[in-house]
Amino acid sequence: MPETLTVQDSVELAVVERSGFVESRHAGAAVVLSPDGEVIARYGDADALILPRSSLKPLQAVACITAGAILEGEQLALSTASHVGTDRHAAVVRDILTEGGLTEDDLECPVAWPTDTATRDAMVREHDQQARIRMNCSGKHAAMLRACVATGWPTKGYLDPSHPLQVHIREVVERLTGEKIAHTSIDGCGAPVHALTLTGLARAIHRIGSASDRSPFALHRVAGSLVRAVREHPWTIEGPGRPDTIAIETLGVFTKGGAEGVMVMVAPDNTTVALKMLDGSARASTLVAATLLQRAGALTDAELTKLDSSLALSVLGGGVEVGSIRVSPVI
């Protein structure tokens, strides 16, 4: 059975310190690519297979657009988001569907409450119900449906790995990563998620993050437009006060976290990081990725300090700060 890296293949990436005592450790693997795409640093086994989870969304979004989905601005950014389900997020996803002659009933992602607490509380007060459009992957699913409509593929069963859309996505993933898919699982939203090496994922994200929307090549133009849309609309990618949105607003990076501690990040100069926390925790992923970019010379000390202060990584004791989540001195 395929599996991810082992404990022995991992290195310590972050620690949790409480009152001068290291309480927890986050181990995993990471890889750093230079602005021209060459590997310049590895931590742990960066060639082990991982499931990228939502860090695969930029690749899936590029595939949907190359299949014919016409999305721009906030709609394009939402196609690669793991949003928190605010009314603003839901409205954009609804527009994506409506403009394609679709409804929320066409979505095949699970129903969910928004993860934004204020929005959920308001919905409960109004006696609203869980909805597919509030699910954090609904933007991706709406883009998949728009691709099906544009190409004439069936909208029913669009999540089946044998559906023409999913076959196309798989081909785009292989093209961007330079790898053959080793294994396909089903993600939490019901869509196929493909096992890749961490290095292959980094290579794909670097190609997307460094692409120009004025490229003579269609795939690169689509990727460049996607990155520009995310940087221009950082609220879409996750939500106010959330790590991905904070990192984009603070650093101007292109970043996408995934479940189980996966993170990809591209600096403005195209230096790229991909990492996987072995324990599946994402709480230190953004800071670790940004730190690796800083150590590669792609971010300044001041930028890293500003990000750190914005991420609320303090450890509290009795309501008072007594420690912090910090990057391991090992790396």
- Burial of residue 101 (number of CB atoms within 10 Å: 0-12, 13-18, 19+): exposed
Phi-psi region of 184 (alpha: psi -120 to 50; beta: other; left: phi over 0): beta
CA distance 81 to 255: 10
Q: Which residues are bridge partners to 15 per DSSP?
A: 25, 326
Buried b (16+ CB within 10 A) or exposed e, 104-114: bebbbbeebbb
pLDDT tens digit sequence for 127-151: 999 999 999 999 999 999 999 999 9
Residue 3 gets which letter from DSSP? -
Q: In this model, does residue 211 exceed pLDDT 90?
A: yes
CA distance 229 to 65: 13
- What's residue 323's pLDDT? 97
Residues 47-54, mean pLDDT to the nearest whole number:
97
Closest CA to 198 of 2, 17, 5, 25: 5
CB 133 within 8 A of CB 189: no
- Report helix, strand or coil for 74: helix
CATH number for region 11-327: 3.40.710
- Domain borders along the chain are 11-327
CB 13 within 8 A of CB 28: yes
pTM of the model: 0.96
User: 82 is written with which tokens?
Assistant: 């793991």
User: 302 is written with which tokens?
Assistant: 């001041």
Q: In this model, does residue 182 exceed pLDDT 90?
A: no
Mean of per-residue pLDDT scores for the chain: 97
Percent above pLDDT 70 for the chain: 100
pLDDT tens digit sequence for 55-111: 999 999 999 999 999 999 999 999 999 999 999 999 999 999 999 999 999 999 999
| φ/ψ of residue 5, rounded to 5 | -60, 155
Q: At what angle do helices 164-177 and 138-151 cross, to 10 degrees?
A: 110
Query: Strand 11-18 vs strand 21-33: parallel, antiparallel, or unpaired?
Result: antiparallel
- The one-letter code for the residue type at 219 is L
Percent above pLDDT 90 for the chain: 96
The length of the chain is 331
State the first-to-last Cα distance of the chain, in angstroms, to the nearest integer: 31
